[in-house]
A and B are shown apart, each in its own frame.
Chain A
Amino acid sequence: MAHRGPFLFLIVLLVIGGIGIAFYRHNIYAIPFSPDEEQLVWQVEARVQFTGNGEPTNVYLALPPDQSGFRIVDASRASSGFGYAPGVRGGQLQAHWSKREVTGDQSLFYKLEIVADPNYSAPDAPPTIRTIPSWREPYGTAARQLLDTALPLSAGGVSLAEQLSQLMSPTRGDQNASLLLGEFSAPELLQNLLLTADVPARTVQALKLEDGRRRQDLATFVQVYEDNTWHLLDARAGRVHDSSDLLLWLTDAPSVLDVLGGRNSRVSFSMISAVRPALAVSQEQYGDFGFSLYSLPIAEQGVFKLIMLLPIGALVVVFMRIIVGFKTSGTFMPVLIALAFLQTDLLPGLSSFLLVVGIGLMIRYYLSNLNLLLVARIAVLVLIVIGIITTFSVLSYRLGLIEGLNMTFFPMIILAWTIERMSITWEESGPKEVVVQGGGSLLVATIAYLAMSVPVVSHLAFNFPELHLVLLAIVLLLGRYTGYRLLELRRFAAFKSATAEGVP
């Protein structure tokens, strides 16, 4: 076939383009591929309390860094009368509240909405240069002896840290460790020992996420930098393997909270969790997903939800006609009927359709005696269709059947034409042909409806409009299909019996 190469190239381009853009947007904006996807959303509230001294006050609260495993979806604060500015100190994000004169007890709130997303990864910042701690005696000797015990048993930074934390555990009863723990806290000791052994390490503070907990404090952990990532360790229990419920809060700053011009300051954390649809969460985080249908007003979005499904219906029609070989009355009439079914549901839709077309056909039968000109006849049918729909809507509302109201979704001009075409088919080819064509149309409409009402299909069609490029590629391919139609296999099967008997 001529131009086959460029054609196939175009097809491949469309498919790759469509799927590529979809995956790109899925990764960038975390738009879920499935409508049922749900995510665990944590709402964490940091509460800062202090008593003002009646002087200018600055409050600095460290904020959790961008980290793997958690997406920070939303942040908000409640702090009446305070000025607010976000900032960075020593590589750590922080909230900065300020006020000219503060007296009495104060409460400031910082709220975070966080999604636990195991697939989310953020690059770890490399360690900043830290001074090697200087030990006072007798702690220097004890530290050296501890390291001398642990170093031969380790292969790298992380394993050294694990050996050290084992030595530090009270069950071992190591005298050097007990001596040092009398002076230093466990995480601090582990960090200093590691730094002495020239292993990049730091202490961090993390929040343990537990549903419904209030007034929690941060816990201190140790991180060891190896292979371009920070490994989290509990100073007493060794390596932390599952950190899915640990939100790192403080990594680079010396303290979580600094209040200048106040006293009795403290910060506490409360949290609750909720399961929410992934789509809504992503929308909250990224707004309109850049260039997408969400940029439109809500009413227009509703219209586009249907428009984006039209190509699915068109694909079904193309498939049913080219591959299966179905006859329909009016090429894309079934798609419009299927769209109406989407609003009415299948069975009420089918029965309303049959009702309107049936009554329309009866009235049209009378009209054919009047010898009206075509345009006038169609116009009369439009009026009749509207009349039938109005009557049944009011009637069913009076009788308490709400389904009747849904009739308004049917495309009335299309219905009028359908009635006209069917009545001509009836006169020329008999009622059998009407049933064949009408049934064919309804069957195709039903299949198109079923395809369009699959939640995943409508979700993908609206959230990933670029997938229509793939649809386009499929339709282009179908348009070049010159093989047999399914129903032709039946039609020409007669050939078998006809030729088998032999020809003179």
Chain B
Amino acid sequence: MGLKDWLSGWAPPSYLRDNGILGMNRRNGDYISRYNSRSRYPLVDNKLLTKEVVEKAKIAAPKLIDVVRAQYEIEHIAPRVENLEQFVVKPANGSGGKGILVITARDGDLFVKSSGVRITLASIERHMTNILSGLHSLGGKPDVAFIETLVQVSKYFANYSYEGVPDIRIIVFKGYPVMGMLRLATHQSDGKANLHQGAVGVGLDLATGKATMAVQHNKRVTHHPDTGRLLEEIEIGNWKQLLHLAARCFEVTRLGYLGCDIVIDEARGPLILELNARPGLAVQIANGVGLLPRLRLIETLDDFPGSVEERVEFSMHHFATNRRPELQSSLWLSTNP
């Protein structure tokens, strides 16, 4: 590979600035540390707490089945899961999808994992022991395990994603949804919906919920690499309801810069899966649009946010993909003559 090829893999800072790309340092310094109060972090870092507040606010989420707080409680778990066909075991303080065990079916006494591997009750108990001892939590702190219902992924998405649960990440700034993407697991990402592990990110038009473009490993793709489905025909149903759900999370957490992970249940519709106080920056690549102009537009608004309805309307109007904020329009003309 020549020097020239190698250099073409880099962009000058001015290019990023002109595209309004939010960098990691600015995200941390100007947004997270300014708009996310430290005291509210436990609400989202601890998924059990998130579940409690979300449930209290009547925001739809997967149902909690049981909580295991201490080693001796694991013995009592057997009667709870014996009769369950499907469930999910999660660590309350896991990060990046670590330590999540998904049981999708039963095979007699055995439990079938999402990968198809059959495991015994003892393995599930061992998994819980690991969670309690802090294997999956940040800094190895002792943790709490909980069991919740498995989301019945809407059939519409099941065809798009390879294994794993496709989820929708909406960035909510000061209560306004600002950008969203659909994350589809691939064979490469091992059923996980993390973009840096090889999942496909599909940019979504905030006005309609329609796909605008898709990327995998920072490169543009048109079809899902495993299922072969054309990605740009995706359209999320109940889009407005979904944005409502995301916007309401602001009232619950009071976190100004928030990432909402939403899954669509076949029966119940959009559910809040988890919330994130430090959402990543990949959403910009999936959309091919920088976050900064949108964030700055909202920063110019009043400090008293309107109702959820008003905020969603505002976002749907201003952040439609084909109707970019003024800041970006000039650039758009220059790159697309």
Contacts and interface: CB of A to CB of B under 8 A. Distances in A.
Nearest to B134: A374
Interface stretch (A64-72, A74-82, A276-284, A495-503): A495-503
A497 B219 contact: yes
B212 A374 contact: no
Nearest to B13: A484
Q: How large is the interface on A (under 10, 10 to 19, 20 to 34, 35 or more residues)?
A: 20 to 34
B26 A498 contact: no
Contacts of A480: 29
Interface stretch (A242-250, A402-410, A455-463, A485-493): A485-493
Contact of A492 (B8, B11, B140): B11
B218 interface: yes
A480 B133 CA distance: 37
Given A373-B133, A374-B140, A480-B29, A493 B11 contact: yes
Contact of A485 (B8, B17, B25): B25
A492 B19 CA distance: 10
Q: How large is the interface on B (under 10, 10 to 19, 20 to 34, 35 or more residues)?
A: 35 or more
B9 A490 contact: yes
A492 B285 contact: yes
B50 interface: no
B30 interface: yes
B25 A483 contact: yes
A500 B335 contact: yes
B285 A494 contact: yes
In this complex, the member of B16, B26, B28, B130 whose beta carbon has the largest number of chain A beta carbons within 10 angstroms is B16
B63 interface: no
B325 to A, nearest CB: 15
B12 interface: yes
A134 interface: no
Given A483-B25, A484-B16, A429 B220 contact: no
B15 A496 contact: yes
A483 B284 contact: no
Interface string B125-159: 01001100111000010100000000000000000
A491 B30 contact: no
Nearest to B98: A428
B335 A484 contact: no
In this complex, the member of B15, B23, B25, B26 whose beta carbon has the largest number of chain A beta carbons within 10 angstroms is B25
Nearest to B141: A374
A494 B217 CA distance: 9
A431 B212 CA distance: 34
Contacts of A490: 9-11
21 contacts: A371-B126, A374-B133, A374-B140, A428-B98, A429-B197, A483-B25, A483-B26, A484-B13, A484-B25, A485-B23, A488-B21, A488-B23, A488-B24, A490-B11, A493-B10, A493-B15, A494-B218, A495-B19, A495-B285, A497-B220, A498-B288
4 smallest CB-CB distances across A and B, nearest first, come from: A494-B218, A493-B11, A482-B26, A374-B133
